[in-house]
């Protein structure tokens, strides 16, 4: 089975304008880490029509049988701590949500679909570009 982890920016681009659709279709299953869900929802205003509509789009996406919501567990916590210490020591810290997202991909040895270049700072993390190629 062909699996990938999806980053927040790719999820937003996909849900809002269909970007990355061809790339995401090449995978049998997409994993959505809890921090991706949290980041997406943090950007919503549930008191507005557009906020409720975007939340409904996310809920519909997460209900798709080919999408799996991934909570953070002990393995992700250990990997997060390792990455956090490494990035701090190297002087190249990342936003904390992104460290969690990278930890999720690394624990599962899966590529991460993202538009963020800063993930390149993480050794052994495979990235999927907008054209579908892996680095």
- CATH at residue 89: 3.40.50.1010
The C-alpha atoms of residue 109 and residue 130 are separated, in whole angstroms, by: 20
pLDDT at 134: 79
Domain count, the chain: 1
Residues 64-114 have pLDDT tens digits of 999 999 999 999 999 999 999 999 999 998 999 999 999 999 999 999 999
Q: Tell me, yes or no, whether 135 lies in a domain.
A: no
- Per DSSP, which regions of the chain are E strands? 3-6, 29-33, 67-70, 112-113, 127-128
**Strand order through the sheet with 112-113:** 67-70, 29-33, 3-6, 112-113, 127-128
pLDDT at 22: 87
Instruction: For residue 69, give the 3-state DSSP assignment.
Output: strand
Q: Tell me, yes or no, whether 134 lies in a domain.
A: no
Question: Where does the pLDDT of residue 18 fall: very low under 50, low under 70, confident under 90, or very high at 90 and above?
Answer: confident
Query: Once rounded to an integer, what is the mean pLDDT over residues 22-45?
Result: 94
Backbone angles phi, psi at 29, to 5 degrees: -145, 135
Domain span holding position 98 = 3-128
């Amino acid at each position: 089975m062909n699996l990938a982890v999806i980053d927040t920016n790719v999820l937003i681009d996909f849900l809002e304008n269909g970007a990355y659709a061809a790339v995401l279709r090449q995978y049998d299953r997409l994993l959505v880490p809890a921090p991706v869900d949290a980041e997406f929802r943090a950007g919503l205003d549930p008191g507005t029509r557009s906020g409720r509509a975007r939340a409904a789009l996310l809920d519909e996406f997460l209900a798709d049988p080919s999408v799996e919501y991934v909570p953070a567990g002990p393995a992700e916590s250990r990997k997060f701590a390792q990455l956090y210490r490494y990035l701090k020591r190297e002087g190249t810290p990342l936003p904390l949500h992104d460290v969690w997202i990278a930890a999720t991909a690394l624990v599962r040895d899966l590529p991460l679909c993202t538009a963020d270049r800063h993930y390149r700072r993480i050794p052994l993390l495979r990235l999927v570009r907008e054209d579908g190629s892996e680095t």
